[in-house]
Structure 1
Amino acid sequence: METVFRALGIYLILLIVFRIAGRRALMQMTSFDLILLLIISEATQQALLGDDFSVTGAALTIITLIIADIFFGYIKRKSNWIDYMLDGSPIILVENGVPAYHKMNKAGITLDDIMISARTNQGISDLEKIKFAILEKNGHISIMSAEG
């Protein structure tokens, strides 16, 4: 039973930490982000398993995490408020070529991040050609071209 409580506790802690860290943490990773993710995963593994390195303990941990994820997915579908609290809502970062710097700062997104997404996904190299740049709930930036 301790394994189940450990798994649920770590799941909730990571959920809260990544919510506080914002969607910037979900965007494409830099080498620093990869190193941080590896350190977090190692610390999480130790916290999840404790001294129990058995197959049964690992299976119980994995099953608990999957059930917790399914449960939170279900709750998010049933309650818009919980969905908003856990995942937030899309944020318009650029509208008709004009950056919303206050929203960008709050989300931890730079103009370079937006332009990288515009060039990569739409082939747009000028800010004025962006009708909308939207930071989605999953951390990706969607770009809508002003050119039809």
Structure 2
Amino acid sequence: MTPFDHPQAKGLLSRARPSNDTEQCLDGSAFSTEGYTATIVSEWDLVCDNAWKVPFSTSLFFVGVLIGSFISGDLSDRFGRRPVFFSTMALLTVTPLIQATSVSWIMFCILNALRGLGYFNYFNYFKHMHFYWSQKSPCLYLFFNIFL
């Protein structure tokens, strides 16, 4: 019989382990206003029962990246790489500005997915530019690798 098989040890071990049980928000939520008067968490109440909305909005960004990866190549072949790249840059410039002024969580999520839609082509362009500049100008290639 090992020391861990003893009935008292089993009781101590079960109480010593941390649990993954989540405590429900019984009294509601109160937000600190020390640093900021309001945040999106406090405005849209993204705690307790609505805590799932935070990772879901991040997932929608990556859904946008996935959709962008499927359509950006076809759009580049059809309309040319330059117009698609500049429209992607416009999308990546305008979308976060509008997203910062979102009035609802749904608007925030839609704009987050649109931001992800444009992100793939941006990333893909700079990946190809790294390849191009590595052959033409190693110093500029080093600059791109350090700062981008």
Q: Name the TM tier (shorter chain).
A: under 0.3
Q: Which has the higher helix share?
A: 2
Q: TM-score, normalised by structure 2?
A: 0.23
Q: Which has the higher strand share?
A: 1
